[in-house]
Amino acid sequence: MAEMLITPTDPPPSTPTRTHRPSLSVFSPRAPIKNAASPRPRLTAVARNVLLPTGCDLIIRGIGARKPNSDTVKLLQNAVKSIMKDIPELADVPVVVKQFSTRGDWSSTAYIHLDSHSLPKPAPASENEPRTDLLLAWKDALAQFDQAWEVKWIPLTHGRDKRLWIRFGQLKEDPKDSNYQEKCRTHLLAWAKIRGYTVTNSYFNAGGVTLCLASPKDVDAVIAHGMIEKIPGIPISVQPI
């Protein structure tokens, strides 16, 4: 008997067609800018066709750390000008130097952020990705300009940075001596001077005595040393934190 062919009455399932255009990717197909030290094309056309992110700042610590009371902003501005000459591509990515707000008269810290006012705004319908790598190129260049500097993304709001603080928590108030903390601060400042640590500010409160150093490397050295057994004038061992 011949086999009977059965024809399906229902068509096989198919993928439904989209009735609307899918949203475009938020990422730009443009490749990110490479390290500032490596060759790359000029950024004029690129810099004029990007959406600059807001609140994306760099904090530079240790500027003029070995020159007490130096003009931190001027030193950083001169560095920016020098970098623009050495790396002309970065001249197409303008930045602004801002002063760090400090309790004392001097600070070795300053900020840099993209100068969005100097760049034409992108079209409202622009599909370009915010280019944080533009500021990353400056971050690399500044770190290479002076290796004593510490160049990082801003961790907190402007004027709030404790990276260069060293607190001696054991040196609290003494009910028997109202000037105890003041005396300890004086001895700590003398100790720092002998050790070659530049101090930008100092104060004391219920939490102990705090020194603000100019150099991040000095801070790291003091913290890495750990317990300090003998500081002339201070009767106890202290643990800097």
pLDDT digits (tens, 9 = 90+) for 96-123: 999 888 777 789 999 998 886 665 555 5
Q: pLDDT > 90: what percent of the chain?
A: 53
What is the predicted pLDDT for the residue at 43? 45
The pLDDT of residue 224 is 96
CA–CA distance, 142 with 186 (Å, rounded to integer): 35
d(CA 33, CA 116): 18
pLDDT band at 135 (very low <50, low <70, confident <90, very high): confident
- Residue 220 CB contacts under 8 Å (≥ 6 apart), including other chains: none
Q: What's residue 93's pLDDT? A: 87
Q: What percentage of the chain exceeds 70 in pLDDT?
A: 68
Cα distance between residue 73 and residue 95, in whole Å: 13
Which residues lie across from 168 on neighbouring strands? Answer: 209, 240
For residue 212, the Cα-to-chain-centroid distance in whole angstroms is 18
Q: How many residues can be counted in the chain? A: 241
List own/partner pairs for 124-127 with CB under 8 A and 24 or more apart. 126/49, 126/51, 127/24, 127/28
**Predicted pLDDT of residue 57:** 86
- Residue 156's pLDDT band (boundaries 50, 70, 90)? low
pTM (2 d.p.): 0.72
Per-residue model confidence as pLDDT tens digits over 177-207: 999 999 999 999 999 999 999 999 999 999 9
Do the Cβ atoms of 38 and 141 come closer than 8 Å?
A: no
- Residue 240 predicted with pLDDT over 80: yes
Q: If DSSP codes are grouped into helix, strand and coil, which group holds residue 150?
A: strand
Tokens of 132: 């944080």
Instruction: Assign 227 a pLDDT band (cuts: 50, 70, 90).
Output: very high
Run of H or E residues at 229: none
| Domains, the chain, ordered by start | 44-153 (3.30.70), 165-225 (no CATH)
| Residue 46: pLDDT over 70 | no
In terms of Cβ atoms closer than 10 Å to its own Cβ (0-12, 13-18, 19+), residue 197 is buried
